[in-house]
A and B are shown apart, each in its own frame.
Chain A
Amino acid sequence: MAAIAHEPAHPTQTHHEVTRDVVNTLGTAGRGYFLALAGAVGLFLIGVTTFIMLLKEGLGLAGYNPPIFWSVYITNFVFWVGIGHAGTLISAILFLFRSSWRTAVYRATEAMTVFAVMTAGLFPIVHIGRQWFFYWLLPYPNQRFLWPNFKSPLVWDVFAIGTYLTVSTTFLCVGLVPDIAAARDLMKGWRSKVYGFFSLGWRGTHDQWRHYTRAYVYLAALATPLVLSVHSVVSWDFAMSLIPGWHGTIFAPYFVAGAIYSGVGMVLTLLIPLRKALKVEHMITDFHFDNLGKLTLFTGSILFYAYAMEYFIAWYSGNTFEQHAFWNRAFGPMWWGGWTMIICNAFVSQLLWFRRVRTNLTAMFVISIFINVGMWFERYVIVNSLGADFVPWAFDQMTPTWADWGMLAGSFGWFGMWFLLFARTFPVVAIQEVKELIPMPRLRKGGAH
Chain B
Amino acid sequence: MARTVPGVLASFEHIDAACDAVGALRAQGREDFTVYSAAPNHELEHALGITNSPVRLFTLIGGLTGVCAGLGMTFWMSLDWPLLVGGKPIATVPPYVVFMFELMVLLGALSTVAGVVILSLSKPTTGMAYDPRFSDDQIGIFVPCPPAEAGRIEKLFREAGSVEVRHAA
Interface residues of chain A, those whose CB is within 8 Å of chain B, are 14-16, 19, 139, 145-151, 156, 159-160, 162-163, 166-167, 170-171, 174, 178, 181-182, 184-186, 201, 203-215, 218-219, 222-223, 225-226, 229, 233, 431-433, 435-436, 439-444, 448-449
Contacts and interface: CB of A to CB of B under 8 A. Distances in A.
Nearest to B33: A206
A159 B98 contact: yes
B92 to A, nearest CB: 8
Nearest to B46: A449
A186 B136 contact: yes
A448 B130 contact: no
Interface stretch (B3-11, B71-79, B150-158): B71-79
Interface residues of B, number: 65
Contact of B110 (A166, A444, A449): A166
Given A151-B85, A443-B16, A443-B17, A182 B113 contact: no
B41 to A, nearest CB: 7
A163 B113 contact: no
Given A19-B136, A214-B52, A442-B14, A205 B115 contact: no
Nearest to A150: B74
Contacts of B144: none
A225 B105 CA distance: 9
A215 B115 contact: yes
B103 to A, nearest CB: 7
B134 A440 contact: no
27 contacts: A15-B137, A147-B77, A151-B85, A163-B103, A163-B106, A167-B109, A174-B116, A182-B38, A185-B132, A204-B39, A205-B123, A205-B125, A207-B34, A207-B119, A207-B120, A210-B45, A211-B115, A211-B119, A212-B116, A213-B53, A214-B56, A218-B59, A219-B109, A219-B113, A229-B105, A442-B14, A448-B43
Contacts of A448: 15, 42-43
B65 to A, nearest CB: 14
Contacts of A208: 120
A174 B113 contact: yes
Contact of B85 (A147, A149, A219): A149
A203 B161 CA distance: 22
Contacts of A226: 102, 105
**Interface residue SS majority, chain A:** helix
Interface of B: 13-17, 34-46, 48, 50, 52-53, 55-56, 59, 63, 73-74, 77-78, 80-81, 83, 85, 88, 92, 95-96, 98-99, 101-103, 105-106, 108-110, 112-113, 115-116, 119-120, 123, 125, 130, 132-137, 139, 161
**Interface residue SS majority, chain B:** helix
B109 A204 contact: no
A441 B109 contact: no
Contacts of A16: 136-137
Contacts of A14: 137
B15 A206 contact: no
Given A203-B134, A214-B55, 12 more contacts: A145-B80, A159-B103, A163-B103, A163-B105, A206-B35, A206-B37, A211-B55, A211-B116, A214-B52, A222-B109, A440-B15, A449-B46
A202 to B, nearest CB: 8
B16 A210 contact: no
Given A178-B135, A204-B135, A218-B112, A210 B53 contact: yes
Given A151-B88, A443-B16, A181 B135 contact: yes
Contact of A233 (B56, B98, B108, B134): B98
B99 A150 contact: yes
B39 A436 contact: yes
The 9 closest A-B pairs by CB, nearest first: A185-B132, A15-B137, A147-B77, A440-B15, A214-B53, A435-B39, A206-B35, A16-B137, A159-B102
Contacts of A174: 113, 116
A440 B41 contact: yes
Contacts of B109: 166-167, 170-171, 219, 222-223
Nearest to A446: B16
A209 B44 CA distance: 11
B116 A215 contact: yes
Q: Give the residue among B41, B42, B115, B130 with the most A Cβ atoms within 10 A.
A: B41
A439 to B, nearest CB: 8
Given A151-B95, A448-B42, A163 B102 contact: yes
A12 B54 CA distance: 35
B93 to A, nearest CB: 11
A218 B161 contact: no
A204 B56 contact: no
